[in-house]
Chains A and B, each alone.
Chain A
Amino acid sequence: MEALLSAENLGKEYSSRHSSGAKTSVRALDHANLTIWSGTRVAIVGASGSGKSTLAACLACLEKPSAGSIRFKNQELTALSEYELRSIRPQIQLVFQDPATVFNPNFTVLKVLEEPWILQTKIAAEERRELARELLARVGLPRNILGRGPRDLSGGQRQRLAIARALALEPKILILDEALSALDYSVQAQIANLLLDLSDRSIPPTKRPAIVLITHDLVMAARFAEEIVVMQGGHIVESGPTQKIIGSPEHEATFALLACTTGIASITENGPVV
């Protein structure tokens, strides 16, 4: 297993100028160190404003970090120009939270899926159509929705479509930024199962992406991820194997999340266990 992506001392500062002239800057990310191994499942958890989404955006090269470095397959991403990043982007894909607004409402499902191929490859139209159908099957969507628009799909279906689109160029890393939060629990379960299937050990490593789940839902994180990274105030305050983080947390932020997320330690068939 190789270290696919490693971030060192990553920092991101947003500065804004108040109307009075005072300059304020917010450290959304501060001295973050993170390593993502290929084919693994990681969850990044934290409260609102803890910096999780900023970290995701930096890792996916959607934001340029103010400090630190990101190495992807031994290439330093912060040193690359926009043109050079073009070949990197398809390998690190990001799926966002809100399935309702992320698609162009004028596109059909086919067009949504085709776009990455049109932009990045020279595949012919007929082959693209066939590939699109395969993608739909891979995410559990019916093959006959190619002609429909995103508005005709349910929230869960739209999120599957977003994942399908992200998978189109066979990314090495799939990052989901609160992508499950807005869905019903039964649909969340289905999408979680889909992600588990995508990273199943039986799939050859080239087609098996590392999956990073960004969420404030510690329950889902604990079930899904092999490793959990806890963030607070732009810092990574604790990280480690899931069992350890849930079983013997050390940082107060982890304690707080655990206490607030479960409230009840668990619900079992025989009654609440507190």
Chain B
Amino acid sequence: MRYLTRRFLHAVFLLAGATVVTFLFTALAPGNYFDEMRLNPQISPETLTALKARYDLDKPLGIRYLVWLKSLAHGEMGYSFAYNSPVATLLVQRARNTLLLTITATLLAWSIALPLGVWSAERSGRWADRLVTGSSAILLVIPDIALALGFLMIAVHTRWLPAGGMASVGSETLSFVARLWDLSRHMFLPVTILVFSAQPLLVRHVRSAVAETLGEGFIRAAEGHGIPRGRLLWRYALPAAANPLISLFGFSIGALLSGSLLIEVVTSWPGLGPFLLEAILARDLYVVVGGVLLSTLFLVAGNFIADVMLFWADPRIRAE
């Protein structure tokens, strides 16, 4: 328990540190939201000063951070200049869209990588293994953007799938089932790209962890006791190989909000990624900080979940 408490405090500390750093960087970057407006001759300098004062942009950095922290305690994350609405509601909605994509993709990716990795590890060195390792290597080398554009091209040419967005025009009028179908058609492309880009790393790690475990003495001993092959792989080898995979899973959870930015932009998926990008370019301070906080929350939570799972799965860690 002490171990977990320690890890938890560690996580909280990490989170706090991340907010400070982000706040610092965004505020230190030259210019602010209202600088754009300065170029507009119709807006007087006095209006600008008033606007700045209203949004506290004339106060020192430290004060601004503390004010933001205070509002965070109330469950608010500040105000978006561009959208003229509280940051929290905006972020939550966009984050939901992203999570829809990434959770589906992560579940799918792991469901494919685990059996594939185990199967490949068992046939280590033979042609089946070489096939899997080889294709993983190729996929790994192809940059995500090339993958994304490639799939996009196929979608556009064949017209089987919509080429972007989350919903078709006029979909609000459809029945629930029809809307669901429409959603899945739109999801298909980004999810496929995400799964393909995540696969090689996962498969390699599963494969190498299981292959290494299969060489261990207790597997040989269990084989000598007549434990059938299937049981040997799934009940003996995989749990013993789990430690590095649990850490990897923690990363997967951590990347749920942050890993899909590029894909979302390319497929015009209205997720957190494009939204944050926009906000950064426009210097929409509180959106940026709020978005980073959310992503960091997931990263830190993912790590912590991995710690908990490791604690639960490996008695040797419990003994430390």
Taking the complex as a whole, does A directly touch B, i.e. does some CB pair lie under 8 Å apart? Answer: yes
* B319 CB-CB contact with A under 8 Å: yes
- Min CB distance B279 to A, Å, is 43
B54 on interface, CB distance cutoff 8 Å? no
Contacts of A17 in B (CB 8 A): 2, 320
CB-based nearest A residue for B317 = A19
Residues in A neighbouring B318, C-beta threshold 8 A: 19
B65 at the interface (CB under 8 A from A): no
A204 to chain B, nearest CB (A): 48
- Tell me, yes or no, whether A20 is within 8 Å of chain B by CB: yes
Residues of chain A contacted by B320 (CB below 8 angstroms) = 16-17, 19
Contact pattern, B 1-34, Cβ under 8 Å of A = 1, otherwise 0: 1111000000000000000000000000000000
Query: A247 an interface residue at 8 Å Cβ cutoff?
Result: no
Question: In whole angstroms, how far apart are the Cα atoms of A17 and B318 in the complex?
Answer: 10
Q: Nearest residue in B to A18 (C-beta to C-beta)? A: B319
* Contact flags B135-147 to A (C-beta < 8 A → 1, else 0): 0000000000000
Tell me, yes or no, whether B311 is within 8 Å of chain A by CB: yes
Contacts of B317 in A (CB 8 A): 19
Answer whether residue A271 sits at the interface, using C-beta atoms and an 8 A cutoff.
no
| Complex interface: chain B residues within 8 A of A20 (CB) | 1-2
Contacts of B3 in A (CB 8 A): 19
- Shortest CB-to-CB span from B212 to chain A, Å, is 18
For the complex formed, measure the closest distance between the CB of A83 and the CB atoms of chain B, giving whole angstroms.
32
Q: How far is the CA of A21 from the CA of B320 in the complex (A)?
A: 10
The interface residues of chain A lying within 8 Å CB-to-CB of B319 are 18-19
Q: Which residue of A lies closest to B3 (CB)?
A: A19
Contact code string B293-320 (vs A, CB < 8 Å = 1, else 0): 0000000000000000001000001111
- The docked-state distance in angstroms from the alpha carbon of A19 to that of B314 is 12
Smallest distance from the beta carbon of A209 to chain B beta carbons, Å?
Answer: 37
Report the Cα distance A206→B292, complex, angstroms. 70
Q: How far is A19 from B3 in the complex, measured between Cα atoms in Å?
A: 6
Q: How far is the CA of A186 from the CA of B319 in the complex (A)?
A: 41
- One digit per residue, 1 when the CB lies within 8 angstroms of any chain B CB and 0 when it does not, for chain A 1-36 equals 000000000000000111111000000000000000
Report how far A106 CA is from B169 CA in the complex, Å: 66
Chain B residues whose C-beta falls within 8 Å of the C-beta of A19 in the assembled complex = 1-4, 311, 317-320
Q: How far is the CA of A243 from the CA of B130 in the complex (A)?
A: 65
Mask: chain B, 197-219; 1 = CB below 8 Å from A; 0 = not = 00000000000000000000000
Assembled-state Cα–Cα distance A17/B2 (Å): 9
Q: Nearest Cβ in chain A — how far from B179, in angstroms?
A: 48
Interface core residue of B2, B4, B319 (most chain A CB under 10 Å): B2
Residues of B within 8 A of A16 (CB): 320
CA–CA, A86 to B112, complex, Å? 56
Minimum distance in angstroms from B217 CB to a CB of chain A? 15
Min CB–CB distance B52 → chain A (angstroms):
52
**Most chain B CB inside 10 Å of its own CB: which residue of A17, A19, A21:** A19
Determine the residue in chain B with the shortest Cβ distance to A16.
Answer: B320
Residue of B nearest to A20 (CB): B1
Least distance between B40 CB and chain A CB atoms (Å): 62
* Shortest beta-carbon distance from B319 to chain A in Å: 7
A108-165 with Cβ < 8 A to chain B: none
Shortest beta-carbon distance from B318 to chain A in Å? 5
Please name the 6 residue pairs, one residue from A and one from B, whose CB atoms are nearest each other, closest first.
A21-B2, A19-B318, A19-B3, A20-B1, A19-B1, A21-B1
Q: Given contacts A17-B320, A20-B1, could you give 15 more A-B pairs where the C-beta distance is less than 8 Å?
A: A16-B320, A17-B2, A18-B319, A19-B1, A19-B2, A19-B3, A19-B4, A19-B311, A19-B317, A19-B318, A19-B319, A19-B320, A20-B2, A21-B1, A21-B2
**16 A-B residue contacts at CB 8 Å?**
A16-B320, A17-B2, A17-B320, A18-B319, A19-B2, A19-B3, A19-B4, A19-B311, A19-B317, A19-B318, A19-B319, A19-B320, A20-B1, A20-B2, A21-B1, A21-B2
